[in-house]
Structure 1
Amino acid sequence: MTMKSRNHPVTRRFAGLAVWALCGAALAEGGRPAVPLLPRYVQECAACHVAYPPGMLPAASWERLMKTLPQHFGNDASLDAATQRDLSRWLQANAGGGAPPPQDRITRSAWFVREHNEIPAAVWQRPAIRQASNCAACHTRADQGDFNEHTVRIPR
């Protein structure tokens, strides 16, 4: 490649997009690097729902959620004090940025609404999906913390 072709606007734009795509694959929502999920977090939280990556909510939301586990969205998700303390610290250290969403619900966050705005309301009502928080219904690798749109399969 010549110096002239390397500095061509199209070449520079393509190179920039390639870097953005590669880096973006390793970033969680809010621009923070994706972190491996803590095994204890997966054990405790994925027993009932997807173990959401900590970058999906800001620290203030995780703090409130962890303090209200006995009333966790209508369920008692209480943990022993040591586990609650350890998971709280890990969630705080790896939380995303931005403003807390209404009711600290991931599905009400600005980025979630933006990413799912093309989904018709009827799709959320399908028996295999039932609700927006059932990420694994469409995101085939949600259990691995991977929400890449290229692996989405919307059930009929």
Structure 2
Amino acid sequence: MTKIVNLSIAALLLAGGVYLYADDDEHEEHEHKRSAVAKPMTPQEKSTAALYTKECGACHFAYQPEFLPKSSWDKTMKTLDSHFGTDATLDPQDHKTIQNYLASHASRYDRMTGMGGAIAIRISETPNFKHEHREIPKKMVTQADVKSFANCAACHTKAASGSYREREVRIPNYGSWE
């Protein structure tokens, strides 16, 4: 019996340690990474990423595809004629190229989305996003220099390069997030 209790306590401590590690900015959990060992992009991959950034980034921040699962990107791409109140229709070849790019780089992990089968088309709807932004007062987000959570680059100074570390957050008119 004592052995079972000791194993249970050890498991709880280990689980707590993993949780703390995952939420600890020093371990760079908030940094977006394509892979543990970054392989150089081919010229075709660079061209595709540039097309995505040009087309999608023309109206809003070009979010890293890893923030949503493939099903979410598929739904988004199928409804571009009414994309958050705007017609964002693409030329058919560009549409196919971007859809393939999003599908091949989409999140494969529930911990990123945590939607349990639901299809989110807003990154701000995902449990992971809500957890990471839960302490931010509404007034910091709705101010004119930020406007909404959709404007990642307003506060995340290195969002374009995929880094979302807390120590790099600068909220306009408020400063560092510590």
Structure 2 match to 1:111: 128
The alignment status of 1:21 with 2:21, answered yes or no, reads no
| Number of equivalent positions | 137
Structure 2 match to 1:10: none
Per-residue deviation, residues 51-91 of structure 1 (Å, max 9, x unmatched): 10000000000000011111111111110001100110111
Match of 1:127 among 123, 140, 144: 144
- 5+ residue gaps in structure 1? 1-12
Identity of aligned residues (%): 36
Instruction: Describe the shift of the 1:69–1:153 C-alpha distance in structure 2 as closer, same or farther (beyond 3 A).
Output: same
The TM-score normalised by the length of structure 2 is 0.67
Report the RMSD for the aligned CA atoms in angstroms. 2.8
Structure 1 match to 2:103: 92
Q: Is the 8 A contact 1:50 1:135 kept in 2?
A: yes
TM-fit CA distance, 1:27? 3.1
Q: Is the 8 A contact 1:53 1:145 kept in 2?
A: yes
The alignment status of 1:70 with 2:81, answered yes or no, reads yes
What amino acid sits opposite 2:143 in the alignment? Answer: R
TM-fit CA distance, 1:102? 6.1
Q: Give distance in 2, aligned partners of 1:23 and 1:110.
A: 16
Instruction: Describe the shift of the 1:127–1:23 C-alpha distance in structure 2 as closer, same or farther (beyond 3 A).
Output: closer
The TM-score normalised by the length of structure 1 is 0.76
Q: Is the 8 A contact 1:50 1:142 kept in 2?
A: no
Structure 1 match to 2:72: 61
- 5+ residue gaps in structure 2? 1-16, 174-178
Match of 2:56 among 45, 57, 70: 45
Q: Give distance in 1, aligned partners of 2:123 and 2:32.
A: 20
Q: Is the 8 A contact 1:102 1:109 kept in 2?
A: no
